[in-house]
Structure 1
Amino acid sequence: MTSLTFVRKKYKMATSNDWNDLPDIALIYVYLDLSDTDRLNVACTCKNWNRLFSTAILWRKRRVVFDANAPETLAENEVKFLDRFGHCLTRLTLNFGRPTFKSCMNISKAAESYLKRMCSRNDIRLRELDLENLHMEQHWHFILSRNRLVTAVCKMIRKQRYLETVFMAGARLRLVDGCRILEALGKAQTRSKIKTLYMEDFFETNMFPSRHPRYVSAMSKFQVLEDIHLNYRYLSSEMIRNIANKQFRSMKTLSVVIEGDVRGVEIPADAWMEFSEKCPLAEVGVYLCTTVLRGNDLRTPFVRGLPLNQIYLTSWSRIDETENRLANLLRHLGNMYNTSLGKHIFSLCYRQVCPLILLQLS
């Protein structure tokens, strides 16, 4: 209880009456730094401190971690939290741990019971949902438990009417499961509320969802997206045109991660030009780790019509082949976007050749 200790030291010369005169905002800041157990202990101090225990701002955010350690008990406790403070909740972070063959069923059932309770309440108004590093590809090979979990998440999402931001980076879902979640987000009132999607590595490794009509259709349902963060493999010319036609009033940021071999996904210049014309306020940023340059020529995604505003390059390789490819890529970027990029390029390089080439971009 560091904050509580600080306050007591600051007011160590105060009388009991002075403690009663301590402003509510100071006590609320003390509460904000405490765990649930410590908050409960502080609330038992006096009536005034107990009164502040129910302040809504203390319970806006909640992180729920289901793991192999008594997930049923956790679900019961979190249901009690929903019953008392669910009306205060605006940001929810869900973490489903790293299940094993023995624990996957218990975790999925506990999570299902918790999410069902969320669905049964009409006073919960989530603004942000964070599916924290699900890593389904690595940890959820159990079909029945995985389907139970995805179904429960989809039902909970469909009940939300105020969601604006969804963090799904690192989920590593199968195509069908990922499409189910996107379809749940794009249904009813949710699609007219969601403004930000973080979906880097949302699908399994080396998956090209842009080639599947179900994914393209699910992504076309959103109406007021402002910020999209995703992998380059998740884009196609059809998706770019859908964004340009439906999000032209709202789109502000399109952030793209390029990793692996993306030669099969080549968006033509005319699609980017249409996007640039209809979304003039949108900024396109690219994140590129140059270690993927080994054996790959990543100049193909950078076509003339791409409205590139920022690019983040990270390199720590000392292999001559990678460095040569990086040099060619930087020259290509300099020739294509020297007027639009300006100083919005960041690169971490060990050798001197890379900073010298970067000078061409300024």
Structure 2
Amino acid sequence: MKENSIWNYLPDTALIKIYLCLQDRWRVNMAVVCKNWNRVFASPCLWRTRYMDLGGYRAITAGEKACSFAQSHGAHLQYLYLTCNHPTFPSCRIIQNTIDTFLKNIQAAKLIHFELERLNMDTFWKFENLKGKVIGSFTRFFHRQRHLKNFNMSDAHFSMPSGCRVLEAVGSASGSTIRSLCIEDFFQSRLAVYQDKRFRNAFFMFNSLSHLYVNYSCLCDEILEGMAANLTGKLRNISCRIYRTDPHFHRISSNAWEKLRSRCPMLSLDLWFEGIGMSSEIIPILVPEAPVREVHMWTGFDESADWRLNETLNHIATHHRKIVLLAMELDNNNESIDHCLVRMLTRCKGMRSLFVNAVISVPIIDEICTLQANGQIDLHTFHVTSCGLSEIDRSDLWYIKEKFLPIMLNRGLNFKISSGYFTDTMF
């Protein structure tokens, strides 16, 4: 480039915006154009955010790139997003070396957001010495991070001692600054985490939380009471997963939820039931005092189970009328939810989103659409897949879609109806 070219005099702000639109290799090419562009290439604001995948079949290449970046620009990081997709038995040692080197090279960074998903320590990490080294790398790193606001290590599947060790490191350094804590599947499945004293002590280090993502097996009366004391006026949402294979038969009392609600009046609760369809398991968790906002339910496959799904819907309609979202994938061909679903919709006036994949009759779908068209319910999103329909039923369903689609689109409703067949056209 000629020294007197107009491109030499582009302001730094314009150059930075251009750099931010480019991938790394194009940034490098741009940086060698002239001294001025090379100077701007080193600007810290270009390297605040990073997305990296450390796993998969390219673990060696990915690791080399990650460590090279950390050495050159790691000190500037503030928002770090890591994934560990498809780790394999041979690649775990490579990933461990990458994590250790990478974290050492960014230890001077002042992270605001840390995210590492799908580490899956209980599945592919066969050697205990590798697990120990990874845990050691994390604990040393997090002990230095005192500015975190968002922490996410979902799907880590740590053992109880290892998970508590990492959580203690995070809490001791950033417990007063973290607002969003995601520890869904942070521990191995089938662990009654709430019973562990070390976990409770580590969890209570986090005294500024507004959003918590956690498993039901991590909660109990004592922990909710601790949150009520530590997070008064701060906690706004709990997203809680309940798996069929995890301990979920302990009960959080109405008093514990009532106390937490009184201390955190803006609190809402989102529940995700996975592989659970029995009302006898679901209803005791949905205590009336719990501030339920969303319910997501996948029943799993068990043809012989007497799920009594109608009892669950009637319970929601009676005790949780402020619910705003219900998502149900009900793999039960033996029970109809038709009338209970309509009853729930007419009673839960705040319902805005409904997702249903179940045995539901075409006339009931027509009735729900009519209620919406007449303003008797106020859904913003309505997705329904009706299973097990005959050819005649599918023709009737197509007619309903044709009849109501213009009305729904005119009102801005996210409207999709299907019979579940791959030939269906989704609107």
User: TM-score over 0.5 for the alignment?
Assistant: yes
CA offset at residue 264 of structure 1? 2.2
CA contact (8 A) 1:101 1:142 kept: no
Report the counterpart of residue 418 of structure 2 in structure 1: none
Letter in 1 for 2:342: L
Report the counterpart of residue 256 of structure 1 in structure 2: 240
Structure holding more helix per residue: 1
Report the counterpart of residue 269 of structure 1 in structure 2: 254
CA contact (8 A) 1:224 1:250 kept: yes
RMSD of the TM alignment (CA)?
Answer: 3.0
Worse-superposed segment, 257-266 or 328-337: 257-266
SS where residue 175 of structure 2 aligns? Answer: helix
Report the counterpart of residue 328 of structure 1 in structure 2: 311
Against the structure 1 CA distance between its residues 333 and 73, is the aligned structure 2 distance closer, same or farther, given a 3 Å change threshold? closer
Determine if the alignment matches structure 1 residue 282 to structure 2 residue 267: yes
Task: For 1:198 and 1:68, locate their aligned partners in 2 and report how far apart those are by CA, in whole Å.
Answer: 23
CA offset at residue 36 of structure 1? 1.4
Task: For 1:118 and 1:51, locate their aligned partners in 2 and report how far apart those are by CA, in whole Å.
Answer: 22
Determine if the alignment matches structure 1 residue 87 to structure 2 residue 75: yes
CA contact (8 A) 2:59 2:91 kept: no
Q: TM-score, normalised by structure 1?
A: 0.82
CA contact (8 A) 1:227 1:253 kept: yes
Determine if the alignment matches structure 1 residue 42 to structure 2 residue 25: no
Query: What is the correspondence of 1:138-153 to structure 2 with a 5 Å cutoff?
Result: 138-153=123-138
CA contact (8 A) 1:349 1:355 kept: no
Letter in 1 for 2:31: A
Determine if the alignment matches structure 1 residue 301 to structure 2 residue 288: no
CA contact (8 A) 1:191 1:223 kept: yes
SS where residue 69 of structure 2 aligns? Answer: helix
| Gapped regions of structure 2 (runs ≥ 5) | 331-335, 350-427
* Percent of residue pairs bearing the same amino acid type: 27
Q: Highest CA radius of gyration, 1 or 2?
A: 2
| Gapped regions of structure 1 (runs ≥ 5) | 1-15
CA offset at residue 70 of structure 1? 8.0
Q: Which of residues 106, 110, 119 is equivalent to 1:118?
A: 106
Q: Deviations over 1:302-323 (max 9, x none)?
A: 1122122x11334587977779
Report the counterpart of residue 203 of structure 2 in structure 1: 219
CA contact (8 A) 1:92 1:129 kept: yes
Against the structure 1 CA distance between its residues 348 and 76, is the aligned structure 2 distance closer, same or farther, given a 3 Å change threshold? closer
Query: What is the correspondence of 1:70-109 to structure 2 with a 5 Å cutoff?
Result: 78-96=66-84, 98-109=86-97
Report the counterpart of residue 411 of structure 2 in structure 1: none
Worse-superposed segment, 98-107 or 205-214: 98-107
Q: Give the structure, 1 or 2, with the largest relative contact order (CA under 8 Å, sep 6 or more).
A: 1
Report the counterpart of residue 13 of structure 1 in structure 2: none
Q: Which of residues 289, 295, 303 is equivalent to 1:312?
A: 295
Q: Which of residues 52, 56, 59 is equivalent to 2:47?
A: 59
Report the counterpart of residue 198 of structure 1 in structure 2: 182
Q: Deviations over 1:138-192 (max 9, x none)?
A: 21121110110111111101111111111111111111111111111111x4111
SS where residue 206 of structure 1 aligns? Answer: coil
Task: For 1:253 and 1:47, locate their aligned partners in 2 and report how far apart those are by CA, in whole Å.
Answer: 50
Against the structure 1 CA distance between its residues 115 and 72, is the aligned structure 2 distance closer, same or farther, given a 3 Å change threshold? farther
Task: For 1:231 and 1:100, locate their aligned partners in 2 and report how far apart those are by CA, in whole Å.
Answer: 26
CA contact (8 A) 1:273 1:305 kept: yes
Report the counterpart of residue 12 of structure 1 in structure 2: none
Against the structure 1 CA distance between its residues 50 and 323, is the aligned structure 2 distance closer, same or farther, given a 3 Å change threshold? farther
Task: For 1:106 and 1:318, locate their aligned partners in 2 and report how far apart those are by CA, in whole Å.
Answer: 38
Against the structure 1 CA distance between its residues 296 and 50, is the aligned structure 2 distance closer, same or farther, given a 3 Å change threshold? farther
Letter in 2 for 1:197: L
SS where residue 284 of structure 1 aligns? Answer: strand
Letter in 2 for 1:222: F
CA offset at residue 243 of structure 1? 0.3
CA contact (8 A) 1:297 1:325 kept: no
Report the counterpart of residue 118 of structure 2 in structure 1: 133
